[in-house]
Amino acid sequence: MSDTEPTDFGFKSVPRADKARRVRDVFDSVAGRYDLMNDLMSAGVHRLWKRFTLALTQLRPGQQALDVAAGTGDLSVGMAHQVGPQGLVVLTDINAAMLARGRDRLIDEGLVSNVRCLQANAENLPFADDSFHCVTIGFGLRNVTDKSAALRSMRRVLKPGGQLIVLEFSRPTAAIRPLYDAYSFHVLPRIGQLVAKDSASYQYLAESIRMHPDQDTLLALMRESELEDCQYHNLSGGIVAVHRGYKY
């Protein structure tokens, strides 16, 4: 695809080459208050979503894991404990400010011997084929310009028998959708303005969720990327979904 072709940035249409820069600007703006905003936006429930995701990794001591779009490192910390001092967890993020937050978080947790940090684009991960037992991406896939390319890249670096886990906002059930929409488009930007002094970034968050593929569409994209045994779990009425697929 040409870099000048349009793609979505929230509800806006922008050239493909411009989306990554715009996403980077969003996370540069919110990095300092990212964890606090996550707690406020979800009333702390994001921690339960991540705990559920970590319970699915099947990681054992001594294994290797990759956390793509790792942000401030919630999943990375959990996986570092799972693989232990003889294992390895690599954090990547396209945004340097977010990656720095994740690195500092790991240092604060005393996790330095079995973790590495690297700025990288999910669509073109700089790792050898068959490198990791598990790859996770939490709340990052919707910000990727070419989601299929990212899924193929993450599959490529999985070891045979390894799994990809995608934790992402998705399409909630019809019963809660009106309330969820009202919260997303009216309350969330106001919280962003009050706490992070940035309503526009949280308006983008609400819009990017609506533009992200729903549960079944993402499942199909994973299968098209040659991941196998793909399935998903809805959490909180489908507000969030955890997708899983394996490389055999």
CATH code, 6-174+203-246: 3.40.50.150
pLDDT tens digit sequence for 13-46: 999 889 988 998 888 888 888 888 899 999 999 9
User: Residue 1 has what pLDDT?
Assistant: 61
- The distance in angstroms from the start CA to the end CA of the chain is 29
pTM over 0.85: yes
H-assigned helices in the chain: 16-30, 34-42, 45-55, 74-83, 96-108, 147-156, 177-182, 188-196, 199-211, 215-224
pLDDT(56) > 80: yes
Average pLDDT, the chain: 95
Contact 140, 68 (CB under 8 A): yes
